[in-house]
């Protein structure tokens, strides 16, 4: 049973370009969470999605960032017009059900570097 | 609001010595508490979690943590450190019966000295 998959593992973008980060949850999981880890910091919650719905986006920056989890295919975190401050590791996690009794399984992360 | 404070961004212990990583939390409602480990260039792996059952929680790789409500602490311990324990450790809190975010501490990097 494959774990949470994220691609690409490393992404380099120039300022002003768009970054698309993909997350395929574990088989049977319909709940996806995105976190951002800045250097020397812990993970910060960004957004929680279920299939086709955004449940909680309280951690998402108000501009340039968006997320989706379509009925078919992976969850996408999209960052438009990237800036240097967007350089970070972005982690996706998935769980089988709502409620935090159920463990969130983390992917290996995508390390975004903005030059 | 919930928060987590990890004391010490770097901790060094000798191989075979006791590991103690400190975590204090703040929560106005009963919390769930977690310890995660992150090896270089990998995602987070759950070590253990407290969910209001036993206050002493045993996890993988010989780690355990004790929930102390009076001290608002959830320190992580292991009796004898192994070289393979070198990693970054994150304490985290979430709210019981909520279905979303986990609040993470800033992490403690554990170094094992030969």
**Predicted confidence (pLDDT) per residue in B24-62, tens digit:** 999 878 788 999 999 987 888 999 999 877 899 999 999
The yes-or-no verdict on residue A63 having pLDDT over 60 is yes
Question: Higher-confidence residue: A39 or B48?
Answer: B48
HEC-encoded secondary structure of chain A: CCCCEEECCEEEECCCCCEEEEEECCCCCCEEEEEEECCCCCEEEEEEEECCEEEECCCCCCCCEEEECCCCCCEEEEECCCCHHHCEEEEEEEECCCCCCCCCEECCCEEEEEC
Contact A100 B95 (CB under 8 A): yes
* Cα dihedral sign, B83-B93-A61-A77: positive
CA distances from B63 to A2, B35, B47 (A): 26, 10, 7
Averaged pLDDT for residues A70-84: 96
Interface test with A, best of B1, B6, B25, B44 (most A CBs within 10 A): B44
Share of residues in chain A with pLDDT > 90 (%): 71
Tokens standing for residue A111: 């390390």
Residues of chain A with C-beta less than 8 angstroms from the C-beta of B51? 101
The pLDDT value recorded for residue A104 is: 85
Contact B102 A45 (CB under 8 A): yes
Residues of chain A with C-beta less than 8 angstroms from the C-beta of B46? 103-104
Residue B101: pLDDT band (50, 70, 90) is confident
Contact A56 B100 (CB under 8 A): yes
Residues of chain B with C-beta less than 8 angstroms from the C-beta of A98? 99
CA distances from B68 to A70, B27, B62 (A): 42, 13, 20
Chain A contacts to B (CB-CB under 8 A) = 4, 6, 31, 33, 35, 40-45, 48, 55-56, 58-59, 91, 93, 98-101, 103-104, 106-109
**Predicted confidence (pLDDT) per residue in B3-22, tens digit:** 899 999 999 999 999 999 99
Contact A100 B41 (CB under 8 A): no
Averaged pLDDT for residues B74-85: 97
The number of angstroms, rounded, from the C-alpha of A100 to the middle of its chain's C-alpha atoms is 18
Compute the nearest-CA separation of B93 from chain A (Å).
Answer: 10
Residue A100: pLDDT band (50, 70, 90) is low
């Amino acid at each position: 049973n494959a774990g949470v998959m994220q691609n690409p593992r490393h992404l380099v973008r120039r300022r002003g370009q768009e970054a698309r980060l993909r997350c395929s949850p574990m088989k049977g999981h319909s709940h996806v969470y995105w976190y951002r880890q800045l250097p020397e910091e812990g993970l910060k919650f960004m957004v929680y999605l279920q299939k086709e719905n955004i449940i909680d986006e309280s951690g998402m920056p108000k501009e340039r960032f968006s997320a989706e989890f379509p009925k078919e295919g992976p969850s996408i975190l999209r960052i438009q017009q990237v800036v240097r401050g967007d350089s970070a590791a972005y982690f996706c996690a998935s769980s089988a059900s709502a409620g935090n009794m159920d463990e969130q399984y983390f992917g290996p992360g995508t390390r975004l570097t903005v030059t | 609001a919930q928060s987590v404070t990890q004391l010490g961004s770097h901790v060094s212990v000798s191989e075979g010595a006791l590991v103690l990583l400190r975590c204090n939390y703040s929560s106005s409602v009963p919390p769930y508490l977690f310890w995660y480990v992150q090896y270089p260039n990998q995602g987070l792996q759950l070590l253990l979690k407290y969910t209001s059952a036993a206050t002493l929680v045993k996890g993988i790789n010989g780690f355990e943590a004790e929930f102390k409500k009076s001290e608002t602490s959830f320190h992580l311990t292991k009796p004898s450190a192994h070289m393979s324990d070198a990693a970054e450790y994150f304490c985290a809190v979430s709210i019981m019966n909520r279905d979303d975010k986990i609040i993470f501490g800033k992490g403690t990097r554990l170094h094992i000295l030969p």
